[in-house]
Amino acid sequence: MSETIRAFIAIPLPPPLLDQLDRLQNRLERALPPRSVRWVNPHGIHLTLKFLGDTPTGNLPEMEAALAAVARNTPSCSFTVGELGCFPNPRRPRVVWIGVQEPAGRLAILQDAVEEVMAPFGYPREQRGFSPHLTLGRVQQRASREDAARIGEVVTTTSIGALGQVDARHFDLIRSVLKPTGAEYTTLSQFGLAE
């Protein structure tokens, strides 16, 4: 029986952008009902390409080889981070996010290639279309209907414009360890995209 770790594949973000996300979370928190949203640690925010969950450590070398092949055949890209939103919608917010725009479609190509090479390892393709975003926080389950409505209202009326551009030159395979203080992330491998 092989040991398993919790893992995912993501594009890391530059520290100046993470600092801006931290300031944005603080601004939103002041505008929202107290303790209505559980905020993600801003320095752990990344652009997830594929969440794997339980991953047998014995599969890691083969998975890393497959991801390295994806990276060699996929061009690097740039994307813009901006515009707030909620999943599933502002009337019933569960997740508060900030959008990612990459008009050339390279991000979608990369994500699709990652989905394709991970499927043989037992990670089924995501049924929903790829909607690139950065999760800022999750609405607390105990939040009242009024609190949820207020969250949706604040998100739809807060204008933030573009926070910055990210040059995605690589993506990472990351281990996630859940702790009472929040998730702790360790980069297991980095895959440089084609220039």
**Would residue 152 count as lying in a domain?**
yes
User: What's the predicted TM-score (pTM) here?
Assistant: 0.91
Dihedral sign for Cα 152, 154, 157, 162, please. negative
CATH number at residue 43: 3.90.1140.10
Domain that holds residue 19: 4-187
Q: In what order do the strands lie in the sheet with 133-139?
A: 37-39, 133-139, 95-101, 77-87, 162-168
pLDDT tens readout for residues 73-94: 999 999 999 999 999 999 999 9
Q: 1-43 pLDDT, tens per residue?
A: 579 999 999 999 999 999 999 999 999 999 999 999 999 999 8
Residue 167 within any structural domain of the chain: yes
Could you give the number of structural domains in the chain? Answer: 1
- Report the alpha-carbon distance of residue 127 to residue 78 in Å, rounded: 25
**pLDDT grade, residue 167 (50/70/90)?**
very high
On average, the pLDDT of the chain sits at: 93
Q: Hey, what amino acid is at 52?
A: L
Does a structural domain hold residue 194?
no
